[in-house]
Structure 1
Amino acid sequence: MAVTVLAVESSCDETAVAVISGNKLLASLVSTQEVHSLWGGVVPELASRLHQRTLTSLAHEAIARAGIQLTDLDAVAATVGPGLIGALLVGASYGKGLAVGLGKQFVGVNHLEGHLWSAAVAAEELPLPALALLVSGGHTELIRINGFGEYALLGATLDDAAGEAFDKVGGLLGITYPAGEELSKLASRGNDRAFHFAVARTQTPLDFSYSGLKSAASREVEKQKQSGNDNWAADLAASFQRAVVRQLIQRVDTALTADDYKSLTLGGGVAANQLLRSELEKSAMKHNVSLRVPPLQYCTDNAAMIAWVAARKIECNQLDPLTNPANPNLSLVPEIV
């Protein structure tokens, strides 16, 4: 029998609520806190207060759009980490309170596990074993998926995440936070070979590093500003984007060569980047694996992916006690294999 779940996502600056019944998504709503662009990044205390202000009305609207009553729910789920602790506490506390009030089960969901299965939300079956590339403002990781709940961390960033590098360099180019989408639009008008940005080498071949690239781009921006040339921003954006994506693709190719996989999947906010999506298509074809990428609306933080994971956890009888705390440093896979 299909379970009906209401899920809450509030790990950063998106307040999101979704309702799922079995594999059918009944409603998915996201409220983005655009005010953070004024400060060039997320202000944690403000994010928490805005979640608190928005969440209840968003949940009621999701229930209405799903065409059900609160009493029809079988469970309530919420993201419990990783993320901003204040923001997590708002969503997790709401989810637990609603579950207690309704006498329903509570399921805590790892935010990264949601991104890991975001393509599956759109009914994209994921042939296993799969190689997953998670790329966002806070995470850049390669993960082997052997089954639901069976993951192995192959590589991760040693410093900055790819999405963080996009935001920082975008800010240097005068693009407001979050900068990824607008930087890519600017890059589409530029020459991606105009500036040479090296791809970092790491001691472990599947790890990532973006701090050096970010610093190199920062120095080049300052150099160009002092040169008096007004026609360099698009070229620099294109060259920088190419370097970010090249590193991701190099690691993906290395992982696909080293082991047997049936599919390649992508998750996280940077998954919306069109250059990355097109380059992954080439990698999948080269290594003869299926490619599963989420629709654009499931790349950024959303509750649909949290609801999907929660429904699978219920099927596997992986429920959580109400004492399960929110954890801003929650890991999906504790060690690199």
Structure 2
Amino acid sequence: MDVKALSYYVAIVDQKSINKAAELLYISQPVLTRTVKALEKELGVQLLICNNHGIEITTVGQNLYYYARSILSQFEEIERLKKTFGSCIETRLRVSTAMILLQDSIIQKYFSSVNSDHSFIDIRETGIEEAINNVRSQASEIAILALNTVQYRTLQRVCKIHELEMHVIDKGSVYVHLSQKHALAQADTVKASSLLSMIYLHTPEDFFTRLNYPVKIGDTELSQFKRIITVNNYHTIINLLKHSDAFMFGNRWQIEDLKKGGIASIRLEDGHIQRHLVWLHRQRQTLSDEARLFLNLFLAPLNQSIPAKA
């Protein structure tokens, strides 16, 4: 039983005549007759009784008529929705970020710039490893990462293995972020050893964070920090920085934004470890208009734009 057969059957009952239904549908009368016979054979009951006055519908035939009308009405609604969706402009932005705080203004500018009826925005604040996996699995189209020198070298190898393309945005010194009310907030530089008594905030452990364990910052290893809070949400990190004796290692690219939120940024004295700001996507992948727009908004304060071939 198909939709066309039901539509033929409904037309016959509405017209109370196979001949009139054939004229209405611009098909031959034998086609409609065969359709009714096929329905009766499939259901095992008689639906219509033909006589000199036209047709008479049986009780079962009447029930089928009501069901068929309901089914056809639902199909008409589906077709209407298909046309509606076909004219609807939809945009999709899928981004992962790791160790970087996105400015709220970027999202606002993105939203005001897209011309769509339905905007889908999926921004995942996560760790470096998960951000990479999101791009590999296409859960995210792009990832924006801030990572140190050791992690950066490893990421270069990972990108080759997994056919990811990495674009370097900038690199610079490591900074320490803490409350503007902290005693160290007015210093120009700070040694890692002077932070040992404070609470060290960092994101959940993954392959890339474990690379930091043997790293020495001056005469201090990260493993020497004993007061640690692991947080998976950057806005929670900001609140902890503002209202507790806590710090986090960061970068210079968001100093001004953090300053507005009551967070001071002090350059770490040890210079051999740097922070690298990069973005990546799958090789041989043409970026969507949404990803291009978002990246250019992110890069604009750094006086950069994405390469034309990306």
Same-fold status (TM-score > 0.5): no
Give the TM-score normalised by the residue count of structure 2. 0.24
Structure index of larger Rg: 2
The answer to which structure, 1 or 2, has the higher relative contact order (CA under 8 A, 6+ apart) is 1
- Structure having the higher strand fraction is 2
